[in-house]
Amino acid sequence: MVEIRPYSDEYEEYIRDESRTQGRADSISFPESEADVRDVLARLGGHVGVTVQGARTGLAAGAVPEGGHVMSMTHMNHYLGLRREEDADGTPRYLIRVEPGLVLSELRKALANDSVPTDGWDEESLAALTQMRQGPERFFPTDPTEASAMIGGIVACNASGARSYRYGPARPHVTALRVVLAEGDVLALRRGETFAHGRELDLTCEGGRHVHVDLPGYVMPHTKNASGYHAADNMDAIDLFIGSDGTLGIVTQVELELLAVPAVTWGVSCFLPSEDAALDLVDAARPALAHVSAMEYFDEGALEILRRQRETSAAFSALPEVPDGARACVFVELETDDAQQALAETYELGRLLTSVGASEDDTWVARTQVDRDAQTFFRHAVPESVNMLIDERRRTDPTITKLGSDMSVPDERLHDVVAMYRRTLAAAGLESAAWGHIGNNHLHVNVLPRDAADFSAGKALFRDWAREVTAMGGAVSAEHGVGKLKRDFLLAMYGPDHIREMAACKRQLDPAGILGRGNLFDEALLPGTEAATEKTTDTERTTDTDEGARA
C-alpha cells in the first residue's frame, strides 16, 4: 500500500514550482500505479484538498499546494505500450502509451536512441514497435522549452512552446487519456469516441457510473490559448481534461501520437535593426514561407542581457556574439523534405530581410545538429539569465519575483499589442525583456523589477494588459495555464458568469472541490467539503438513475 507521509522539511521542494511561489502541505504521496492513486484518494476521505504534481516546472503555481495533500506523479514514469493505426490512405500512425510522470527529455532520448523500454509490453505493442523501427524516426512535437517537464503536466497545461507554430499545442497529439476523478471513478477517454451534445457532456466511468457535465458557455479566443477549460459545441470529451490544470481529474495514462522526424531541420537567427523591422519580417514571412516550424523573438532588452552575460558570466562565455547594432532577433526554424527546399526557403527569408531594411549578413544559419544546439543554447540562455538576474535582485529585496506575461492575440493585432506593451512599460518606467513565440503573436514580456514598487507597478500593468488583450480577441494565458497566479486575468477574460460556469462544471466532476484547489478560480466558488456535499444536488451531478431521465 502506498504511503501517505506527513509533510516535513524533507519535502520542501514539493511546495513550490518554477514560478517560485511557496505553498504549504499537510501530507504527500508518491503513487506507483492508478490503483495507488485511487487508494490514496479513498484514504484521504474525499474532503482533503489534493494538488497533483508533475515536475513542478510550471510557471503559474498550478502545482503549488495551498495546504492538504500533495500527490507527486514522479514514480509513475513507465512506457506502457505502442499502437499502430493506418490513415485512410494507408499512412501509418504510431501512438505511444505512457504514464504521466514520464519526463519529456527521457521520452525524446528513448525515441531518438531507439531505446524505449518495453518491459511488460504485449505482443501487439512489440509488433508495432518493430514496424515503427522500419520507418523514419518518430518524435513528440510539443516542446515547452523546459524538457524536464512531465507528460502529465504537459497535458494538464496543454503546453506548447516554440514548435506550436507548426504543430499546435499538446492537445491534438493526445489521442487517449485515463483519468481518475476526485471520488475515485476512472474515465477512459479516446479521441473521437465521446462527444458533447452542444454544451452538454455525458460521461460513463469504467465502473458504470454516469456523470453529466454542463460545459461553460463562452466562446474561446481564436488564438493560442491555455486559459481555463476548453469548451466548444459538440467538442470531444478528452479536450475538457487537456489543459484543466489539475482541477478535474488525475491523469494516470496518456497516449500520444508520434510524428515522423522531418528530413531536414535548419535554424536561421535573423538580427534586425529595430522592433518594427522584426514585426514586418514576421508579417511578411508568415504567408511567404511554407515550412516554418517555429518563429521566435528576442527584443532589445533580451539581447542586452545576453551581451552582458557573455561578458560577465563564465557559464555563458560560449554564447555567440550578438552582431553590433542588432536591436531585435527573429529565429526561424525550417523543417523540409530535402535540403533544396530548405535552401529555397532560406533564400526567400534573406529576400524578406532585405525588404524590411535588415541585412542578410546579420544572420546565423544552423544546418547541423551542433550548430542547432548552439542556437538552442542561445535561445534558452535568455530565460535562464533573467532568472539569475532576478535571483540576484531578490537578495536585496526578497519580496520581488520575475513577472512574465503569457498572452496571445490574433495575427492582425500583433503590431497593436507590441505598441501597447511598449507604451505602457515606458509610461511606468519599468525595465523589461521580451521573448517568445512571435509567430503565434505570443510574447513573454518580462518585467524586471528593481524593487517592491516596480514589482507592484508591473503587476498592475499585467492586469491592464489582460483587459487590453481580451479586447483584442486574445488569451490571457496562451501556454502556461492559469494556475493560481492568473485567476484575476481569467476573470478579466471571461467575466464572473462564465467563471461560475467553470466552477459549476468542476463540481459536477469533483463535488467536494478537492482537486487543484485554488487553480483557475477563487475557492469561494467551490465551497468546502460539508457545504459542497450538501450542495451536490441532482441538477449538479447525475447518478445512474437520474442519467436515464436526462437521456
Ligand X SMILES: Cc1cc2nc3c(=O)[nH]c(=O)nc-3n(C[C@H](O)[C@H](O)[C@H](O)COP(=O)(O)OP(=O)(O)OC[C@H]3O[C@@H](n4cnc5c(N)ncnc54)[C@H](O)[C@@H]3O)c2cc1C
Give me the residues that bind ligand X (CB under 6 A), please.
Answer: 17-18, 51-59, 62-63, 73, 100, 144-146, 149-150, 152-154, 156-157, 159-161, 245-246, 250-251, 383, 479-480, 483, 516, 519
Task: Output the smallest distance, CB 156 to ligand X, in A.
Answer: 3
Identity of the residue, 383 or 474, whose beta carbon is nearer to ligand X in the bound complex: 383
First-last CA distance in the chain? 40
Beta bridge partners of 214: 200
Beta bridge partners of 202: 212
Task: Output the smallest distance, CB 304 to ligand X, in A.
Answer: 19
215: left (phi over 0), alpha (psi -120 to 50) or beta: beta
Task: Output the smallest distance, CB 437 to ligand X, in A.
Answer: 7
**Residues 6+ positions from 380 with CB-CB distance below 8 Å:** 145
Task: Output the smallest distance, CB 402 to ligand X, in A.
Answer: 10
Identity of the residue, 73 or 330, whose beta carbon is nearer to ligand X in the bound complex: 73
Identity of the residue, 437 or 498, whose beta carbon is nearer to ligand X in the bound complex: 437
Identity of the residue, 153 or 262, whose beta carbon is nearer to ligand X in the bound complex: 153
Helix (H) or strand (E) holding 2: none
Task: Output the smallest distance, CB 148 to ligand X, in A.
Answer: 7
Beta bridge partners of 268: 332, 365
Q: Is 514 helix (H, G, I), strand (E, B) or coil?
A: coil
Asked if residue 25 lies in contact with residue 63, where contact means CB atoms within 8 angstroms, the answer is no
Task: Output the smallest distance, CB 470 to ligand X, in A.
Answer: 20
Identity of the residue, 213 or 277, whose beta carbon is nearer to ligand X in the bound complex: 213
Identity of the residue, 66 or 146, whose beta carbon is nearer to ligand X in the bound complex: 146
Task: Output the smallest distance, CB 72 to ligand X, in A.
Answer: 9
Instruction: State which amino acid sits at residue 312.
Output: T
Give me the DSSP letters along 230-259.
---TT-BTHHHHTT-TTSS-EEEEEEEEEE
Identity of the residue, 65 or 511, whose beta carbon is nearer to ligand X in the bound complex: 65
Cell 511606468 locates to: 428
Name the nearest CA neighbour of 436 among 148, 157, 161: 161
Task: Output the smallest distance, CB 245 to ligand X, in A.
Answer: 4
Cell 522592433 locates to: 275
Torsion over CA of 490, 496, 500 and 501, rounded to 10 degrees? -80
Give me the DSSP letters along 137-157.
-EE---B-S-TT-BHHHHHHH
Identity of the residue, 172 or 323, whose beta carbon is nearer to ligand X in the bound complex: 172
